Amino acid sequence: MFALLRLPVLMGVRRLGTSASLHGSLATFVSYDLTPHIGTHFPDPLVQLSSFLTEDRSSDLIRDLATLVSHRGVVFFTNQDVTVEQQKQLMLRMGELTGRPETSGLHKHPISEDSPELGADVSVISAIGGIARAGVDLKSRASSGWHSDISFEPVPADYSMLKMHTLPRVGGDTLWASGYEAYDKLSPAYQRFLEGLTALHDGNFFHDSAQSQNIPIQPRRGSPFNVGEDLRAIHPIIRTHPITGFKALYVNRSFTTRVLELTKEESDHQLEYLFRHIAENHDLQVRYRWAQNDVAIWDNRAVFHTATNDYGGDRQGNRVVGVGEKPFFDQRSQSRRDALGV
């Protein structure tokens, strides 16, 4: 009901033809698009996200930031002084100012520990601890890590924010891929076939990590619907974004295990094609080379991402994830290309 009520109001936003027209109050800051379909960078370190929380136009800045992230998929900021507590505030306000359900807050990852320094609603992304390399096989294909944050939850993520404070000498880039463009690159017949199908997303492999680290699974994880130890959920394969109104592909290799309306053999075949479709289409991806204290903010309803495990030594950052709404598909929604006429 939340999304269907919001959608007609927001449909008008989709007529904006260029990224620049999406900036609103952010237009006073220097920025540039990294690719035609995904990624915008604010390179000036004088533009500090921490100030967005205190300026007189704070609500406008944060709302426009959230809108830009939802359209461009991922937005990057250079050399930020934002603290962990400020990350939490920004993630909460980005959701609140764009219609996040009142029952949704910050996510507690199933294997995050409730430390006095950070709290359970901060995930430590680390090569030597935390969740960054949970279950990673360095001899497997690098493309096996593509995912959308916490899609195994009944109410999965909207925005994620990662500040990378420790980096290896070289390597450790992150890639993001557009779910909008992934949908648009499918044939019309294949789009119609996928619309209305649902898939199972499974994160129960985190139980192995919890057991090996001797920590309990977090029982309550940012929504009254994200509770208990069974880390599985069913979502539409094509979902409608509640802010842009665009259709997006919503399956990922890390968590999506089965198309429910198909036989197992049919499901395996379709999912393998879609996983490769995301991983092998470089024109719907952006790759970011981190510098110390850079920040990325992305919308998990519209993008997938994966780290590049090509480094030794430590690589560490703090990630805060907002919980959004239950994914839905609305037949009235359009593709991004059709809506923008591109």
Q: What's at 132, amino acid-wise?
A: A
Kindly state the tokens that stand for 179: 């779910």
Contacts for 14 with CB less than 8 Å, ≥ 6 apart: 244, 245, 246, 334, 336, 339, 340
Q: What is the mean pLDDT of residues 2-20?
A: 36
Kindly state the tokens that stand for 340: 């923008």
Residue 18 or residue 21, greater confidence: 21
Confidence of residue 2 (pLDDT cuts 50, 70, 90): very low
Q: Three-state DSSP class for 339?
A: helix
Other Cβ atoms less than 10 A from the Cβ of 141: the count is 9
Cα–Cα distance measured from residue 234 to residue 123, given in angstroms and rounded to the nearest whole number? 24
Contacts for 173 with CB less than 8 Å, ≥ 6 apart: 287, 288, 289, 290, 307, 308, 310
Q: What is the mean pLDDT of residues 1-19?
A: 34
45-88 pLDDT per residue, tens: 999 999 999 988 999 999 999 999 999 999 999 999 999 999 99
276-331 pLDDT per residue, tens: 999 999 999 999 999 999 999 999 999 999 999 898 888 999 999 999 999 999 99
Kindly state the tokens that stand for 164: 């990378």
Cα–Cα distance measured from residue 109 to residue 329, given in angstroms and rounded to the nearest whole number? 26
* C-alpha distances in Å from residue 321, one per residue of 56, 163, 333: 26, 12, 26
Cα–Cα distance measured from residue 50 to residue 57, given in angstroms and rounded to the nearest whole number? 13
Residue 111 or residue 43, greater confidence: 43
Residue 137 reports pLDDT greater than 70: no
Residue 194 reports pLDDT greater than 60: yes
Q: What is the DSSP letter of 210?
A: H
Confidence of residue 8 (pLDDT cuts 50, 70, 90): very low
Q: What is the CATH number of the domain that holds 48?
A: 3.60.130.10
Residue 100 or residue 342, greater confidence: 100
Cα–Cα distance measured from residue 289 to residue 156, given in angstroms and rounded to the nearest whole number? 27
Residue 168 reports pLDDT greater than 90: yes
Confidence of residue 4 (pLDDT cuts 50, 70, 90): very low
- DSSP lists the bridge partners of residue 177 as 285, 304
How many domains is the chain built from? 1
Cα–Cα distance measured from residue 180 to residue 4, given in angstroms and rounded to the nearest whole number? 19
Residue 5 reports pLDDT greater than 50: no
Report the alpha-carbon angle 203-128-166, nearest 5.
110
Q: Strand 74-77 relative to strand 40-42: parallel, antiparallel, unpaired?
A: parallel
Cα–Cα distance measured from residue 152 to residue 166, given in angstroms and rounded to the nearest whole number? 28
Report the alpha-carbon angle 243-324-50, nearest 5.
85
State the residue range of the domain holding 208. 2-340
Residue 11 reports pLDDT greater than 50: no
Residue 138 or residue 316, greater confidence: 316
Residue 213 confidence (pLDDT): 83
Task: Identify whether the C-beta of residue 172 lies closer than 8 Å to the C-beta of residue 307.
Answer: yes
Residue 19 or residue 321, greater confidence: 321
Residue 138 confidence (pLDDT): 65
Closest CA to 202 of 119, 260, 280: 260
Report the alpha-carbon angle 241-236-37, nearest 5.
40
Residue 285 confidence (pLDDT): 98
Q: What is the DSSP string of 284-302?
A: GEEEE---TTEEEEEETTT
Task: Identify whether the C-beta of residue 306 lies closer than 8 Å to the C-beta of residue 147.
Answer: yes
Kindly state the tokens that stand for 251: 């399956």
Confidence of residue 173 (pLDDT cuts 50, 70, 90): very high
251-263 pLDDT per residue, tens: 999 999 999 999 9
Residue 128 confidence (pLDDT): 63
